[in-house]
Copies of this chain bind each other. A is one copy, B any other.
Amino acid sequence: MTNIGIFGWGNLGKAVADNLHDFPDVQLKVIFSRRPHAIEAKYPVASVADMPDWVGKIDVLLLCSGSATDLPEQTPAAVKLFNVVDSFDTHARIPAHFTAVDSAAKVAGHLGLISAGWDPGLFSLARTYFNAFLPDGTDYTFWGKGVSQGHSDAIRRVAGVKRGVQYTVPREDAIARVRSGERPALTTREKHLRECYVVAEKGADCKKIEAEIKNMPNYFAEYDTVVHFISEEEFERDHRAMPHGGFVLRSGNHTSAHKSLLELNIKLDSNPHFTSSVLLAYARAVHRMFAEGRRGCITVFDVPPAALYAGMPEELRKNLL
């Protein structure tokens, strides 16, 4: 049995709790929150300030905060008290985050796994296996169709926008070219479309909003962007979910005569529910690897697949090999 805590009660933390029924060997002991009174009574809650009291009572803490400002502080701090798993997803800052968590974990004698989820996470695993098994090849990652939180936030900062959501849409024509085996060089614009659904404030200038979105540097200017203006009712009905997914492809050659094409694709109705399920599987693995003596910071690359599986190694070999 792996006893866990959840830190943070946003979409991700709530989805961890929703998914517990699929992990019978994992038990939720406590949710740490800055506002414990806001959490439903059916859950065990505690204040963040009381975290030191829980040392020795949980095996792994799942950090369910955001990567922008929370996790860079919280993960190195939390690993001083507990083994931890986080979903840190700012690719460029992973090396620095790894170093910070590794130092703190080694001093405390704990184990921390960072950057679990689907990208980074399952997609990183696919890229690694595909590279190892097809060394002479080209990688392609496509995201979507799915909601990008950062781009949706950017839309909502535009004057006159009441509500807004942005879907990243992989271009079928680009995926088809990759699948054909031609190994194309694809620009940013050729890989993804950006599709926006906007509820405008009463009396707002929709043409102006559309132009401002489409020309926003870093977010939209480099892409083909479509802006749809819709009613608040339509927004409420059709755009409240958080679907996501994407494609990892590797196209390459063994010899000039022998090609291979490897593809992972996933379709998620709920991004936080899938991500939190990955966090739970890695909590199980961290608990096992800590028991075997592993310390410091690790990633999905350091975890043998068997450590993720609920059953015994011989069952795994019999059933899934």
Contact = CB atoms under 8 A, between A and B. Distances in A.
Contacts of A260: 266-269, 273-274
B135 A129 contact: no
B135 A22 contact: yes
A318 B128 CA distance: 12
With most chain B CB atoms within 10 A of its CB, the pick from A132, A262, A263, A316 is A132
Contact of A317 (B18, B126, B299): B299
Interface in A249-286: 254-255, 257-270, 273-274, 277-278, 281
A122 interface: yes
A15 B257 CA distance: 12
Given A260-B268, A266-B262, A129 B91 contact: no
Contacts of A98: 317
A302 B115 CA distance: 21
B254 A308 contact: no
A321 B304 contact: no
For the complex formed by this chain, how many copies does it contain in all? 2
Interface in A222-273: 254-255, 257-270, 273
A186 interface: no
Please report whether the interface of chain A is mostly helix, strand, loop or mixed according to DSSP. helix
A264 B94 CA distance: 26
Contacts of A273: 254-255, 258, 260
A133 interface: yes
Given A131-B320, A305-B125, A321-B120, A258 B278 contact: no
A301 B55 CA distance: 32
A136 interface: yes
Contacts of A318: 94-95
A8 B130 CA distance: 26
A193 to B, nearest CB: 21
Contacts of A91: 321
30 contacts: A18-B255, A22-B136, A23-B135, A95-B317, A115-B321, A124-B320, A126-B264, A127-B320, A128-B306, A128-B309, A128-B320, A132-B281, A132-B309, A133-B274, A255-B273, A257-B269, A258-B270, A260-B267, A261-B267, A263-B265, A263-B266, A264-B264, A300-B305, A301-B304, A301-B305, A301-B313, A301-B316, A301-B321, A302-B306, A302-B313
Interface of A: 15, 18-19, 22-23, 91, 94-95, 98, 115, 120, 122, 124-129, 131-136, 254-255, 257-270, 273-274, 277-278, 281, 299-306, 308-310, 313-314, 316-318, 320-321
